[in-house]
Chain A
Amino acid sequence: MNKLICIIGTLLLLSGCGTTYHVVPEVIHLPSTDCTIAGILEYEGNHDYLPRTIREGGDRGSMPVIRYAYHVGYGKDSIPEIFPLFNPLSLVGFPVGSDSLVIVGALDIVKAGETLKQYSATCVIDKNRSLFYEGDTFSELRKKGLFMVRENIETQMISDREFLSQLLQ
């Protein structure tokens, strides 16, 4: 009986914890290979979030334009502020708030005004907060999500490396 109470108690405490990350499209991670495309980079933002498969450089006349942009959207807290005040289960770890974040990254390769290839990735992050678990802040979640989007696009480009090398010749 005591074991059962312990298990139920632990489950209750943990029910409000945890962060889920979901990145689409789903990709099979390939071993890191040297796949870098050079071009005229159009990007406003922190270069840490830029896929490492692209770089600025080359002959400006013949190089493609590489555009990268991301958008971060913040979800509404699905748990009303007043609810946890009257919910006794908050004291045993039930969620008192939730955070959600959607990050979309898009990379376009353009040459002579024509879009040769587009890559995009979306990361959806959900987190519940409880009295005993706050988890990562929006800033930290955003950073992790942007890195996941970056890696997803890199993987897509590595899978396409033969196609890309032919395309850019």
Chain B
Amino acid sequence: MSVPLRKLVFSLSLLLVALLSGCASLGPVYQKVETVPADRGLVYIYRPSSFVGGGVSYDVKVGETPVTTLYNGGYYPYLSAPGEVEFWAKTESRSAVTLDVKAGETYFLKGTVGVGLLVGRPHLTVVPNETGAGEIAGCKLIPEKQMTAKAE
């Protein structure tokens, strides 16, 4: 193999590794959580599949506790205690959104990845339930074992 060809293969391998580094084996496609404890609110944290930042994943935390690692096309149902709850994520910049969680209510927290200087930046927002229910339909469950950082 010639030197330029070897360099090309090496570069493509690096690119492939970089692209696949954010991939994860996700679980079954979205299913509505049927039973929610009476003293909890249900927060669906999801990220629609997207080309932009597809290889980037990030932890979503409440306080200092990781809730899930949000992968491209993944979702995670989080049972939250009622009250003012801040969800946040960080790569080269921080994104945070606060929800007034009420027991028995359902919320949709959408994560995306935007352009960054060195790495894609997380962006979290709250979407109306009708919008969230539509967008989450194609997402797959993020298993707890896929979390890069475990909750304490």
Contacts and interface: CB of A to CB of B under 8 A. Distances in A.
Interface residues of A, number: 23
B23 to A, nearest CB: 19
Nearest to A48: B84
A96 B92 CA distance: 15
Contacts of A44: 100, 102
A20 B80 CA distance: 32
Interface string A61-79: 0000000000010100100
Interface string A33-54: 0000000000011100000000
Given A74-B126, A142-B97, 16 more contacts: A74-B97, A74-B125, A74-B127, A81-B50, A81-B113, A81-B114, A97-B123, A99-B125, A131-B117, A137-B95, A138-B96, A138-B98, A139-B88, A139-B97, A142-B98, A143-B98
**Interface size class, chain B:** 20 to 34
A129 interface: yes
Interface of A: 44-46, 72, 74, 77, 81-82, 84-85, 90, 96-97, 99, 129, 131, 134, 137-140, 142-143
Q: Among the interface residues B94, B95, B117, which one has the most CB atoms of the partner chain A within 10 A?
A: B95
A132 B50 CA distance: 23
A158 B86 CA distance: 33
A90 B102 contact: no
Contacts of B53: 81
B18 interface: no
A97 B115 CA distance: 9
B114 A129 contact: yes
Interface string B90-126: 0001111110101000000000111111000101111
B81 interface: no
Nearest to B121: A134
Contacts of B100: 44-45, 72
A82 B52 contact: yes
B97 A138 contact: yes
Q: Among the interface residues B50, B123, B124, which one has the most CB atoms of the partner chain A within 10 A?
A: B123
B84 A46 contact: yes
Contacts of B98: 138-139, 142-143
A112 to B, nearest CB: 29
B96 A97 contact: no
A46 B53 CA distance: 36
